[in-house]
Amino acid sequence: MKRIAAEEAWAPPELLARYRKLLQEKPASWDPGFHSLWGFFLGDKPRATALARRIQTLGDERLADMDASGIALQLVFLTAPGVQVFDAAKACALAVSANDQLAEATRKHPERFAGLAAIAPQDPGRAAKEIERGIRTLGFKGVIINSHTQGEYLDAEKFWDIFAAAEAVGAPIYLHPSTPSNGLIAPLLERGLDGAVFGFAVETALHMLRIVVSGVFDRFPALRIVLGHCGEALPFWLYRLDYMHGVSVRANRYASLKPLKRPISEYLRDNVYVTTSGMAWQPAILFCREVLGPEHVLYAMDYPYQFVATEVAACDALPLTEAEKRQFFQTNAEQLFSL
């Protein structure tokens, strides 16, 4: 059995340098979530310095950590918020540079790393071209989008060239969390709940539901989207999502809420896949397998943010047959990402 970790973060040094510059030049009110996240991880506390060191390497330390935890291959992508906090021109250039660097690492260690293409949603047309380049030229296995882009969500039709490009080349989109948008963050931040503890899930689950109810999957039925962290709690809500969406549409309560071809739960079961990043917890994993189908649930660690070397052993202890464990750790990822 080959253990594949499917949500593993990376950042080139020049990106972190630009993050430092933003922290210095922009007030906290510009993007409170960015200041909260990278104001900490670019600081001097031990957890922060360890993460900043690990996240910049695609070399010996990362490989040693993989060996220590039993990971054969990492699916690597640009950490949140990626290039999505910059102006369009700068973001596009940074995405190209990051993709070229990641592609070089995957060529150097083809048995240990596979990559996802970073894009700049700020320019949907160039983002679509970068998806095609990433898949067809650089050999990437999908696309990474770090949730909202300066408060804008992908359900807006101006972004749908991105979905069209991903569907055309058969590339899954990993919708990874970012810190909540400025309109959402205040009550989370004031109690320290804006990050991975809760705010990330709130932000990304909201984003995913906006995509579903806007009709994206009716327009792009072959599109596949991946969520981390056992689906950002959405699997738990399937029944209520179907019921309340249905009654709201029938009541014509919201002008923006239109009928869909299928219930929300069917899109989440058919078009959405979930990884277990940061959620090495048996009840949650087994529940996701039950309600989404075992072929839609795959392993991830969330390195280096949640690097726990013993976590793989905990997942090895899941009450699954050897064939089911192989599916969970290996073949689901191989099939979804064409590894």
Query: What does the pLDDT look like over 254-276, one tens digit per residue?
Result: 999 999 999 999 999 999 999 99
Which domains can be identified in the chain, with CATH numbers?
4-337 (3.20.20.140)
How far, CA to CA in Å, does 305 sit from each of 1, 111, 212, 284? 25, 23, 28, 20
Starting at the earlier edge strand, list the strands of the sheet with 4-10: 4-10, 73-78, 113-115
Bridge partners (DSSP) of residue 113 are 74
Task: List pLDDT tens digits, range 275-291.
Answer: 999 999 999 999 999 99
Extract the tokens encoding 88: 């369009």
Which residue in 11, 129, 4, 3 sits closest to 77, CA to CA? 11
Torsion of CA 161, 85, 215, 203, to 10 degrees: 160
Tokens of 296: 């839609």
Distance, in Å, from the CA atom of 265 to the CA atom of 235, rounded to the nearest integer, reads 8
pLDDT tens for 38-59 read: 999 999 999 999 999 999 999 9
CA distances from 230 to 138, 194, 303 (A): 29, 18, 16
- Reported as a pLDDT band with limits 50, 70 and 90, residue 310 is confident
